[in-house]
Structure 1
Amino acid sequence: MTTQIAHARKLCLSLLTITAACVSALPASAQQAPGKSFVDDFDKINRGFWYVSDGWNNGAHQNCTWSKNQVKVEDGALQLSFADGKSKDRNYLCGEIQTTKRYSYGTYEARIKAGTGSGLNSAFFTYIGPADKQKHDEIDFEVLGKNTGEVQVNQYVQAKGDNEKLVPVGSKADEGFNDYAFIWEKDRLRYYLNGKLVQDVTDPSKIPSNPQKIFFSLWGSDTLSNWMGRFDYTKPAVLSVDRVAFTALGDKCQFPESIACTLN
Structure 2
Amino acid sequence: MGCYHLWSLSLGVLLMVCGTLGAAPRKPVNVPFGRNYVPTWAFDHIKYFNGGSDIQLHLDKYTGTGFQSKGSYLFGHFSMQIKMVPGDSAGTVTAFYLSSQNAEHDEIDFEFLGNRTGQPYILQTNVFTGGKGNREQRIYLWFDPTTAYHSYSVLWNLYQIVFFVDDVPIRIFKNSKDLGVRFPFDQPMKIYSSLWNADDWATRGGLEKTDWSKAPFVAAYRGFHVDGCEASVQAKFCATQGKRWWDQREFQDLDALQYRRLRWVRQKFTIYNYCTDRVRFPTMPVECKRDRDV
Offset, 1:120: 0.5
**1:69 counterpart SS class:** helix
State how far apart, in whole Å, the 2-side matches of 1:206 and 1:180 are: 25
Which residue in the other structure is 2:121 paired with?
Answer: 149
1:214 maps to amino acid: I
Residues 245/206 of structure 1: CA separation in 2 closer, same or farther (3 Å cut):
farther
In 2: Cα distance, 1:93 partner to 1:70 partner: 8
| Alignment partner of 1:68 out of 22, 25, 43 | 43
Q: Does 1:45 align with 2:21?
A: no
What letter corresponds to residue 69 of structure 1 in structure 2? D
Residue in 1 that maps onto 2:166: 194
- Are the counterparts in 2 of residues 125 and 141 from structure 1 also a CA contact under 8 Å? yes
Structure 1 runs (4+) deviating above 4 angstroms are: 225-229, 249-253
**Take 1:115 and 1:94, find their aligned partners in 2: how far apart are those partners?**
13
Give, in angstroms, the shift of residue 40 of structure 1: 5.2
Residues in 2 aligned to 1:206 and 1:115: alpha-carbon distance in whole angstroms: 35
The answer for unaligned runs of 5 or more in structure 1 is 1-37, 55-66, 85-91, 254-258
Contact 1:156 1:206 survives alignment (8 Å): no
2:196 is matched with 219
Aligned residues: 194
Structure 2: distance between partners of 1:185 and 1:165:
21
Q: 1:241 aligns with which of 184, 205, 221?
A: 221
Measured in 2, the distance between the counterparts of 1:170 and 1:212 equals 30
Distance in structure 2 (CA, Å) of the matches to 1:97 and 1:214: 8
Offset at 1:246? 2.1
Q: Is this contact kept in 2: 1:189–1:207, CA < 8 A?
A: no
Partner of 1:139: 108
Q: Structure 2, unaligned stretches of length 5 or more?
A: 1-27, 229-241, 256-294
Q: Which has the larger radius of gyration?
A: 2
Q: C-alpha displacement at 1:227, in angstroms?
A: 4.2
CA RMSD of aligned residues (A): 2.7
Cα gap change, 1:197/1:230 in structure 2, threshold over 3 Å: closer, same or farther?
Answer: same
Check the 8 A contact 2:130/2:182 in 1, yes or no. no
The TM-score with structure 2 as length reference comes to: 0.59
2:225 counterpart SS class: strand
* Alignment correspondent of 1:63: none
User: Which protein has the bigger helix share?
Assistant: 2
